[in-house]
Structure 1
Amino acid sequence: MRERWARRLAWITCSLVLVFTAAFAATYNAGTATIAAEPMLPVPPAAAPGDAERVARGREVYASLDCATCHSIAGEGSPRSPLDGVGSRMERPEIRAWTLGEDSVAEDLSPRALRSKRGYRELDGDDVDALVSYLASLTD
């Protein structure tokens, strides 16, 4: 008899763990939208005509690096780290430091994010500048 109750208790406990895990996952991922292969990211209207090409190139770099897996712009991508208005909050050198995971911001990044961002140091300098221009153009 005790063995039967022990099995039932184990089965109920296992079921509850699975239900709570599924509920937590559903709650945690509720705001996460499916990331499209080519997200439609905004090109801010505030960009000067001379900068429009650089901003457009930065938008392409953002998409090609799959930045939307960790960041979002205008609701597209991962809601964990939105970049909306980053151009209003940071100057270009600071945006560059965060983008490349420079030593000045290394303490504020997780080890995983730091490894990922330091990989961007191998990018062509023009691509990095274009990406920084695009991010700097994202104002409120």
Structure 2
Amino acid sequence: MRDKGARNLVFLVVFIGANLFSFYGFLAYRARLWSPLWAIQPTEKEFTSVPGLAADGEDSPTARGRRLYREFRCAVCHGPSGEGGVKNPNADPDGVIPNLYDLADAFTFSDLKGKLLKGAHPAKVEESGPEPILDMPSWKEAFSEDEVDAMAQYLFSLKPSLVSEKEEKEEEEP
């Protein structure tokens, strides 16, 4: 008869190995689901209407820009209403994706269109540190000239919501 202890040891090693493989496989699967890198490709879904917009505003450049913002998944990094805040380690400014509320102060209309067409790689906070993970992709191949104009119009129209402004004021007060 074989040694029962050796058989139990083999069973234990196989059991632990299978569990570790399953656990790390599950973690890799979940990391892929939450990764914003999947958002680079536009969605195949066609939007017939944009929720929250009046029917008479459907053909405005701002409405088309909002549809494009959602369709091309810009909200994965910049947030559903442009609030930003997604962590991007060692990226300037502050290691997060910037909000889109102050674009009119930072860019002219043509500069913003150029940024959309060329994309952007954030500067590093620490030169010796790793490269920032998230870049803004170039949309030159994906957008027509009219779509770039519409997207820029929409981005210039973004303002912080009243709820987020109230929350910020409450956080500042001791």
TM-score bracket for this pair, using the shorter chain length: 0.5 to 0.7
How far residue 15 of structure 1 moved from its aligned partner, in angstroms, is: 0.6
How far residue 107 of structure 1 moved from its aligned partner, in angstroms, is: 5.9
User: Which structure's relative contact order is higher, taking Cα pairs within 8 Å and 6+ residues apart?
Assistant: 1
Q: Is residue 121 from structure 1 mapped to residue 125 from structure 2 by the alignment?
A: no
Residue 117 of structure 2 is matched in structure 1 by 100
Q: Specify the SS of the correspondent of 1:86.
A: coil
Quick one: distance in 2 between partners of 1:69 and 1:87? 13
Residue 73 of structure 2 is matched in structure 1 by 67
Q: How does 1:27-42 map to 2 (within 5 A)?
A: 38=47
Q: Is residue 6 from structure 1 mapped to residue 10 from structure 2 by the alignment?
A: yes
Of 54, 62, 73 in structure 2, the residue corresponding to residue 55 of structure 1 is 62
Q: Specify the SS of the correspondent of 1:18.
A: helix
Residue 169 of structure 2 is matched in structure 1 by none
Alpha-carbon displacement from aligned partner over 1:23-76 (angstroms, at most 9, x marks no partner): 67558868x9xx9x5595666xxxxxxxx9221121122244x3257443149x
How far residue 4 of structure 1 moved from its aligned partner, in angstroms, is: 4.3
Quick one: distance in 2 between partners of 1:19 and 1:121? 41
Larger fraction in helix: 1
Larger fraction in strand: 1
Alpha-carbon displacement from aligned partner over 1:74-114 (angstroms, at most 9, x marks no partner): 49xxx779989403254345643443234xx3465979956
Contact 2:66 2:154 in 1 (8 A): yes
Contact 2:64 2:150 in 1 (8 A): yes
Equivalent pairs counted in the alignment come to: 119
Alignment RMSD (CA, Å): 4.6
1:18 alignment partner AA = S
Residue 151 of structure 2 is matched in structure 1 by 131
Quick one: distance in 2 between partners of 1:111 and 1:93? 27
Quick one: distance in 1 between partners of 2:65 and 2:147? 7
How far residue 10 of structure 1 moved from its aligned partner, in angstroms, is: 2.4
